[in-house]
Amino acid sequence: MLWDGGTHFSAIHNAQAGEEAIPLSGAVIGPYPELAQRYLRIMGLAFFQTHLAGDESYRQYLDPTFANVLSQSDMTLSLVQELMLAE
Note the pLDDT tens digit of each residue in 16-35.
555 656 777 888 888 999 99
**Is residue 25, in this structure, part of any structural domain at all?**
no
pLDDT confidence band for 12 (50 / 70 / 90): confident
Q: Check: CB of residue 39 under 8 Å from CB of residue 30.
A: no
Q: Does residue 18 fall inside a structural domain?
A: no
Range of the domain at 41: 2-12+32-76
With respect to residue 87, please indicate whether it lies within any of the assigned structural domains.
no
- Domain count within the chain: 1
59 belongs to a structural domain: yes
The C-alpha angle with vertex 3 and arms to 49 and 79, in degrees rounded to 5, equals 45
What's the pLDDT at 86? 84
- Within a domain: residue 47? yes
- Check pLDDT > 60 for residue 47: yes
Is residue 6 in some structural domain? yes
- 77: which strand partners? 3
Q: Is residue 20 a part of any domain in this protein?
A: no
Per-residue model confidence as pLDDT tens digits over 62-83: 999 999 999 999 999 999 888 8
